[in-house]
Amino acid sequence: MSNSRCRAAILISGSGSNLQSFIDQVADGRLELDIAIVVSNRPDAFGLQRAANAEIASVCIEHAAYPDRESFDRAIANALDEYSVDLLLLAGFMRILSPWFVKHYEGRILNIHPALLPAYPGLDTHQRVLEAGDEWHGSTVHFVTEELDGGPLVLQGRLPVTAGQNAADLATRVQALEHQIYPEAAGLFADGQLRFCNGNAMLGGETLNEPLSRDFE
Ligand code: GRF
């Protein structure tokens, strides 16, 4: 990867608004990487249309067609083989990856999770934040390990929880910041500053003990 642009695969299951932010930032030169392939596990994912509109290769591999998690994951890896990808970006990809897949791409998978990890792994994060009465919420980019939403943290976008907002309002605000922080984190990987080493996120050769943090309105 050292002398050429980083080649990314983006894995989706749905709308693909994060995929769109990557497409837009690559197109206008803010993000220097190539989106080599978009992978969806759902044929009706709108993100596939976004990929087609941008003339990016895509493939749909339906998990229901495979007997278990690992055989599905191996089918994805087979599809990725011909695209020589350096980085996998999970962008609303709603499947838990097998230990085999995580090991196969160790240190090369990033995910974005709509909470300030390690708080609120899993689903329904916006509602859980509201019920807890938290003052801050946001989203986290992290390396993927076998532990669900548990890999080393890279970059967080934070916003204050506003009185009177419901979970849908919060989701909208969180998604808007995701569209900035996820390309930023991918850019750090693409230019070689961000790496995964011995279970840690490293930035510029230093261990990231705390994730980078950006505040939003
Ligand atoms: C994002 O909110 C992300 O945090 C979560 O899934 C959502 C995907 O949204 N992992 P989109 O498909 O990119 O619009």
Residue-averaged pLDDT of the chain: 97
- Inter-helix orientation angle 125-132/167-190, to 10°: 120
Which atom of ligand 1 is least distant from the CA of 113? Answer: 4
Q: Mean pLDDT, to the nearest integer, of 33-46?
A: 98
pLDDT digits (tens, 9 = 90+) for 170-192: 999 999 999 999 999 999 999 99
Q: Could you tell me if the CB of 157 is within 6 A of ligand 1? A: no
pLDDT at 41 over 60: yes
The pTM score is 0.97
Angle at CA 186, nearest 5°, toward 203 and 104?
85
Q: Could you tell me if the CB of 40 is within 6 A of ligand 1? A: no
* Res 11: pLDDT: 98
* Res 59: pLDDT: 98
Using CB atoms within 10 Å of the CB of residue 157, give its burial: 0 to 12 exposed, 13 to 18 middle, 19+ buried.
buried
* Res 157: pLDDT: 98
Structure tokens at 133: 């009465």
* Res 129: pLDDT: 98
Q: Could you tell me if the CB of 139 is within 6 A of ligand 1? A: yes
Q: How far apart are CA 123 and CA 129, in angstroms?
A: 11
Q: Mean pLDDT, to the nearest integer, of 55-74?
A: 97
- Listed in sequence order, the residues at least 6 apart from 144 whose beta carbon sits closer than 8 Å to its beta carbon are 90, 97, 102, 109, 110, 111, 151
pLDDT digits (tens, 9 = 90+) for 103-136: 999 999 999 999 999 999 999 999 999 999 999 9
Q: Could you tell me if the CB of 183 is within 6 A of ligand 1? A: no
* Res 1: pLDDT: 52
Which atom of ligand 1 is least distant from the CA of 13? Answer: 12
CA of 198 to the centre of ligand 1 (A): 28
